[in-house]
Amino acid sequence: MASLIFRTRLSAHSPSLLLSQRRLFSNKTYDHIVASKPVPSVALLTLNRPKALNALSTPLFKDLNQALIEADADKDIGAIVITGSEKAFAAGADIKELKEKDFAGAYSGDLFKEWSVITTIKKPIIAAVSGYALGGGCELAMMCDMILASPTATFGQPEINLGVSPGGGGTQRLTQIVGKYRAMELMLTGRNFSAEEAEKWGLVNRIVGPGEGEVVKEAVELARKISSKSQIASQATKEMINAAYELPLTEGVRFERRLFFGLFNTNDKNEGKCNHLGFHEDIS
C-alpha cells in the first residue's frame, strides 16, 4: 500500500547526521524517500531505493514531488536538500518500468510528467551527490539549483548505450552547462565523468572533503545559511537567475528589475536588513 506518511528509517548516509535530526516537517511518510528536518529551516529528502541504486521510478517521483510541495509550503523551511546513498545518488531511470513502454503508451501517458514538478518549486534546492548520478540521476541533479559532490560522485548520460537518448532534460541542461561540443561527446559515447571533471566544467558548485555523509553535512549547512536570509528575496532571486536561461538579456534585466522593485513592498525589507546591506541613511 502506497503510504503517505514520513518514515524515520536510517539512510545509507551518516547515522550521526540522521540521529541529530530534530523532527520531521510533516506527519507523513513515504515508501521511496525519507524526509526530515536536520535543522529547523532545512528539509532533507533522501531517495531510498537502495536495492535499485535509487532508480527513479514513477512511485519514487510521486513521493519526492509530494514532499517537495509540502516543504515549499512550510513557512519554517527556507531551503531543501535532495540526496541519495553513498553508493548512488540515483543510478538512472527505472529500466524495468521503461521497457514496458512503446511510443503510444509513453506519449499518451505523458511519461516523465512527474519529473518536471521539481522545476516549479520556489525554494532553493541543493543536490548532495555521492556515487552514481547517471541518466535520470544526472538529470535530477541538474534540475536542482546547486550541486555539491563528494569525491566519489560519478556523472553521466549513458542512455545511448541502451539505444535511446536522454529524456528528462539531459540534452538541454547538460548542453547549456558544458557546451555543445563536450555535450555531444559525452552523450554520443555514453562516457561517464568524474566529480573533478564536473567541477571543472561548472556542473557542480564544489567537491566536498572525503568522508561518509560529508556531502550531506555541507549541503545542509549551505541550505541553513540560505535559509537565514529573507525567503521572499531568495525565491525571487532564484526566479531571476532561472529566467536568464529563458530570456534575452534586455528582457531578463527588465524582469529582474520588476521583481527587485516588488521586493520594496515586503516586510523583509526592513530597517535592520537595509542597514546590514548598507542602505541606511547617513545620519552623521
Q: Is 159 a catalytic residue?
A: yes
For residues 224 and 222, what is the distance between their CA atoms, to the nearest angstrom?
Answer: 5
Of 86, 114, 139, 256, the catalytic one is 139
Give the CA angle between residues 28, 141, 204 to the nearest 5°: 135
Residue 206 has a CB neighbour count (10 Å cut-off) of 12
Long-range contacts of 104-108 (CB under 8 A, 24+ apart): none
In a 13 Å sphere around the CA of 83, the CA atoms on its Cβ side amount to 35
Identified catalytic residue from 86, 159, 214, 218 = 159
* Catalytic (active site) residue 93: yes
d(CA 31, CA 57) in angstroms, rounded, equals: 12
Catalytic residue among 78, 131, 136, 168: 136
**Marked catalytic residue, from 79, 93, 128, 223:** 93
170 touches 157 (CB < 8 A) = yes
How far is residue 16's CA from residue 59's CA, in Å, rounded to a whole number?
28
Catalytic residues: 93, 136, 139, 159
